[in-house]
Structure 1
Amino acid sequence: GTGPYSLAEHKADQYIKLVRFKGYVSRKEPADGTFGERKQLPSEIDFIPVPDNNTRVEGAVAGQYDYADGLPIEAYDRLQKSGKSAPVLLPDLGWPFFAFNLRAGPMSHLKLRQAVAAALCPADMLQAAFGDKKFYNLDAALYPKSYGWHNEEGAQVYNQHDPQKAAKLLKEGGYDGAPLRILTSHQYEFHYQMAEVAKACLEEAGFKVQLDVVDWATLTQRRGNPKLWDIYVTHSFFNAEPATYSSYDSSSPIGWDTPERTKILNAFLSATDEKQREQAFAQVQKLVWEQLPYYKVGSFAWLAAANRKMTGVPKIGWPVFWNAEVSK
C-alpha cells in the first residue's frame, strides 16, 4: 500500500497491529481531518475488538485504551468524571431508520406505509433510545444542516403521530389485521428501544405488531427474504455522497423500484454542477417521503472516549491516529 502504516500482524478476534510504513511520504499541508499532513507519530497502532459494551466502557473509564469507539450514550457522564478518558461526542453523525419491505406483505402497499408514517412517534422513539436531547435531533431532512444536501422537502410527512389519520389510512388500504413483523436486534440497543415504542404507537392506530428480536447476523440474513419481514430497524452514518446509499438501489432488501424513483434518481446521478445536484437531491428526498421506502426516525450523536493526554486525533466519525501523540 501507500498509506502511512502497514499491517504487521492480525490475530482474529484479538487484535490488528499496524506499524509505520517506511516508504511513506506525507503531504505537507496542515492536518485537517483525514486531509493534509500525516506525521506517523505513533510507532505502532493496535486495534483491539471489544464487543461487549460494558467491558468497553469500563476499559475507557479506567484508561485501558487511548481511544474507545462506539460507546453507549449512558456512559457520557461517567466519562466526564473520569480522570483518564474524556468523552468525544460527535453530533449528527448518523441516522436510524425503519426500512419497509416493498416486495411483499402489507408494506408493499403505499396506503399502509402512509399509515405507519402517520402513526409513528419519532420524538418518543428517540427519547427512549437516546435520552438527553444532546444525543439526538428530531429532523425530517435526510442530511443535517451542516451538509449542502440539507433541504426540507417532504417534512410534513414526518413526526405526525396521528393515530386517527393512521386508522383511516389502514381502512383505505384494506388492512386485514395480519401482524406487522418488525425485525430488530439487541446488537444495537437503540434499535430495539425505538422498535418497542414504535410498536405501542402502531398498535394505538390499529396495527397488530409482532417484534421479531434476533441477533444481527440473523437479521441481515432474514432481510434478504421478503417473506420473513415487513419492517427492519437499522441505521447509517451520513455519507458524504448520497449516491452511495444502497437503500436507493432497486436490488436492496427494500426493493424500491418505481418509474418515479428511476426518473428522479437518474436526474440526480446525471447532474454535474454542485448546485444542480443539491436541487436534484431535494427531489430525491421529496420522493422518499412521498413513496416511503423507509422512514427516517431522526439523527443521533456518536460517543467515543479519548485519553485525556492525547492530542492529534480529529473529531470525525472515522477516527485516524497518524498524528496522535500522548504526553507524559
Structure 2
Amino acid sequence: MKLKLVSLAAMLLLASPSYLMAQEKGGVINVATIGEPPTLDPMTSTADLVGIVTQHIFETLYTFDKKWGVTPLLAEALPAISADGKTMTIKLRQGIKFHDGSDMDSADVVASLNRWIKLASRGKQAGNFIASITATDPSTVTIALKQPYAPLTSLLAFNNSAAIIIPSEKQADTMTEFVGTGPYMLKERKADQYIQLVRFDGYKARSEASDGYGGARHAYLDEIRFVPVPDANTRVESAVSGQYDYVDSLPVESFDKLKGATATHPILLKPFGYPVFIFNTAEGSAKNIEVRKAIRQALSMEDMLAAAFGSTDFYALEGSIYPSNFAWSTDAGVKGNYNVADPEGAKAAAAAAGYKGEPVRILTSRQYEFHYKMAQVAAEYLKQAGFNVDLQVVDWATLTQRRAEKGLWDIYITHSPFLPEPALIGSLSTTAPGWWDTPERKAAVDAFTAEVDPAKRVALWADVQKVIYGDVPFIKIGNFNAVGSISNKLEGVDPAPWPYFWNASIKK
C-alpha cells in the first residue's frame, strides 16, 4: 500500500543543515532516552524504547525504506508468493554472521520465527494464519499459510514485537544472551545508567544505498551509549547544553529554546503519531462496553491535546485513526463519537450501563510528559462524569510490566507513530494488552488481513475503524508532532520515529 504523502523523507528536519554522509570511522555518542527499557528482547515487548535500542543489535528479514515500503534486510529479496497467496518463499542472504561468529542459515530463521509466533504479540497475531515454517534448504525458508494474509511481510519487517533472527541454539523463552546480526553488539548494560553498544566488525552491510531503515547500514561509530533520562525537564536542559548527542522525546514547548542553543538543534517529526487510551476489555470497570462508551463521551480530546502540546503547531484534532494525508484515512465511525466532551451525558450513560463507582485505574508515566498532562485532564472530566478515578503515575518500565496483567488496570496511556500497515497496530491483536476479542473485531480484521488487493483493503480498513469506534477497545486522542534534539557535531542521522544511528558519524 502506497502512502499518499507521508514518508520518512517528508518528516521535517528543522533548524538543521543538509548533511552529507561522512565516511570516517570512530567516536562515541551518547543518546538520551526516556528511561530504562524493560527488556532487550524485542520479540517480547511492544515498547518503542525497546525497539529503538535493539534495532542496532538484532535484525529482521525485512524492514522499511524511506517511503515505508517493505524492503529486504536479512532476506535476499522480497518473498516469492504463490498464485493462491498461501505460500511464501524467502531466500536468505549468504555470509551473514551472528555476533558470536556463527553463520546464519535457514535453521536459525525457522527457529526464530517459531519463537516469534510463540512469544511476540504480533507473532501470535500472524501465527493464527501460519500453517508451517520450514527450511527448504540452508538458504531458503518456506512459510505455508492457512489463507492469504496480506500484512505478513510488514509484520516481519517491524522492529516492535519484532521477528528478529537469532541463533537456533539461543531460543530460550527468556533471553539471556543478546546475540544478533546487527551493526552493533551489546557490550555492557548497567541498569538505570547506560546500555553500551560497540561496533560489530563482522557485520555485512547490504550493497544497496541506504534508504530509510533499509539498504546499507554502516557502523561508523565505535560505540553508542543509550542513557536513561526519565525526567523531561532534565532531557531538555541536557539537550540545550549539548550533554548528549541525541535526545529523544522532548516536550514540544522546548522547541523554541532548542532553536536558540549553540551546541544542538531541534528536530521535528511532523506528523509523528497519535496519543491513545487503551482499555482493558477483559477485566475491571472497562470490561463493560457501555462504560467504555461513557468514558469516551465524557472526554474532551481538544482540551487534552491543548494541555499536552500547547500550540496547534504541534497537534491536530482528528478522529480518523490515520490522518488525511494517508491513503488509510477514513471518517468511518467518527461522527458523534469523537471529542464529545459531555460529562453530564456520560454520567447518565454510565449509570444506565450499571456503573456503581468501581475504580477506573488509569496507568500513566511522566517520562512521556504529554501522557501525564492528558491523564490529568482526563481525570477531571471523568470525575465530573461521576467516575471514581484512580490515577496511577509510574515509571515507563513499570507501566509496560503492569499493562500485561489483566487485574492491575483499566486504562493505560500510550502513543504510536502512524504505521505503514494498519495490521501493525498492536491493539488489533487479541493477545495485546487490552485483549480486544469480539465477533465484530474478528470479522472485520480477518476480512481486511485476508485481502491482497490494495484498493479493496482501503475500503475494508474503513470497516475495521467503524468496529473500533463501535467496540471502543481504545480511544485515539488526536495527531501530534514529536520533538527531539541532535548535536551539531553529529551527522548522517535522518529524522525517524524510531531513531537509528548506523550511518551516523562525528564531524572531524
Q: Say yes or no: TM over 0.5.
A: yes
The residue type paired with residue 51 of structure 1 is V
In the TM superposition, residue 225 of structure 1 has moved relative to its aligned partner by 3.5
Q: Which residue in the other structure is 1:6 paired with?
A: 184
Residues 141-165 of structure 1 show CA distances to partners (whole Å, capped at 9, x for unaligned) of: 1122333222221121111112333
Equivalent residue pairs, number: 326
- Counterpart of 2:420 in 1: which secondary structure? coil
Report the counterpart of residue 243 of structure 2 in structure 1: 64
Identify if the C-alpha distance between structure 1 residues 55 and 205 changes in structure 2 by more than 3 Å, giving closer, same or farther: closer
Corresponding residue number in structure 1 for 2:324: 145
Q: 1:175 to 1:319 in 2, by over 3 A?
A: closer
Aligned-partner Cα distance in 2 for 1:20–1:230? 43
- Counterpart of 1:226 in structure 2 is 406
Are residues 1:209 and 2:389 paired? yes
Q: Which residue number corresponds to residue 373 of structure 2?
A: 193
Identity of matched residues, %: 40
Q: Which amino acid aligns with 2:188?
A: H
Alignment of 1:254-293 (within 5 A): 254-293=434-473
Q: Distance in 1 between matches of 2:233 and 2:467?
A: 41
Note the C-alpha offset of 1:248: 1.5
Query: CA contact under 8 A between 2:278 and 2:413: conserved in structure 1?
Result: yes
Which region of structure 1 is more displaced relative to structure 2, 63-72 or 266-275? Answer: 63-72
**Deviates further, 123-132 or 64-73:** 64-73
Structure 2 distance, partners of 1:77, 1:298, is 23
| d(CA) in 1 for partners of 2:293, 2:186 | 53
Residue of structure 1 aligned with 2:312, choices 130, 133, 148: 133
Q: Partner of 2:244: helix, strand, or coil? A: coil
- Alpha-carbon separation, structure 2, partners of 1:222 and 1:321: 30
Among candidates 273, 293, 313, match of residue 114 of structure 1: 293
Check conservation: 1:20, 1:43, Cα contact below 8 A.
Answer: no
Residue in 1 that maps onto 2:224? 46
SS state at 1:300 partner = strand
**Closer/same/farther in 2, CA of residues 132 and 164 from structure 1, 3 Å limit:** same
Q: Secondary structure at the match of 1:133?
A: coil
- TM superposition shift of 1:309: 4.6
Cα distance between partner residues in 1 of 2:229 and 2:483: 15
Deviation at 1:174? 2.2
| Alpha-carbon separation, structure 2, partners of 1:132 and 1:96 | 16
Give, in whole Å, the separation in 1 of the partners of 2:263 and 2:241: 6
Q: Distance in 2 between matches of 1:297 and 1:23?
A: 42
User: Is the 2:183–2:203 Cα contact (8 Å) retained in structure 1?
Assistant: no
Q: Which has the higher helix share?
A: 1
- Counterpart code for 2:275: P
Counterpart in the other structure of 1:160: 340
Q: 2:263 aligns with which of 49, 60, 84?
A: 84
Alignment of 1:301 with 2:467, yes or no, is no
Partner of 1:248: 428
Partner AA of 2:243 in structure 1: Q
Which amino acid is the alignment partner of residue 79 of structure 1? L
Retained in 1: the 8 A contact 2:344–2:384? no
* Corresponding residue for residue 212 of structure 2: 33
Q: Distance in 2 between matches of 1:11 and 1:161?
A: 46
Contact 1:91 1:136 in 2 (8 A): no
Is 2:496 the counterpart of 1:316? yes
Structure 2: distance between partners of 1:8 and 1:212: 33
Distance in 2, Cα, partners of 1:113 & 1:43: 49
| 5+ residue gaps, structure 2 | 1-95, 98-180
Q: Say whether 1:105 aligns with 2:284.
A: yes
Q: 1:203 to 1:275 in 2, by over 3 A?
A: same
Question: Cα–Cα, structure 1 residues 180 and 84, in superposed 2: closer, same or farther, change >3 Å?
Answer: same
Q: CA RMSD in A?
A: 2.5
Is residue 177 of structure 1 aligned with residue 357 of structure 2? yes
Assess if the C-alpha contact under 8 Å between 1:97 and 1:297 holds in 2: yes
Counterpart contact for 1:179–1:207, Cα < 8 Å: yes
- Structure 1 stretch displaced more, 208-217 or 81-90: 208-217
Q: Secondary structure at the match of 1:102?
A: coil
More moved, 265-274 vs 163-172: 163-172
Among 1, 6, 24, the alignment partner of 2:204 is 24
In 2 relative to 1, CA 294–19 (structure 1 residues): closer, same or farther, beyond 3 Å? same
Structure 1 SS opposite 2:358:
coil
Q: Which moved more, 1:312-321 or 1:124-133?
A: 312-321
Counterpart code for 1:5: P
Return the offset for 1:194: 0.9
Q: One-letter code of the match for 1:321?
A: F
Q: Which amino acid aligns with 1:65?
A: Y
Aligned in 2, Cα 1:92/1:25: closer, same or farther, shift over 3 Å? closer
1-side partners of 2:358 and 2:221: how far apart?
A: 59
- Mapped to 2, the partners of 1:72 and 1:142 lie a distance apart of 23
Distance 1:98-1:38 versus aligned 2 partners, 3 A rule:
closer
Q: Which amino acid aligns with 1:128?
A: A
Displacement, 1:126? 1.2
- Name stretches of at least 5 consecutive residues in structure 1 with no aligned partner: none
How many angstroms does 1:110 deviate by?
Answer: 2.0
CA displacement at 1:284 relative to structure 2: 0.9
8 A Cα contact 2:285 2:359, kept in partner? no
Letter of the 1:189 counterpart: E
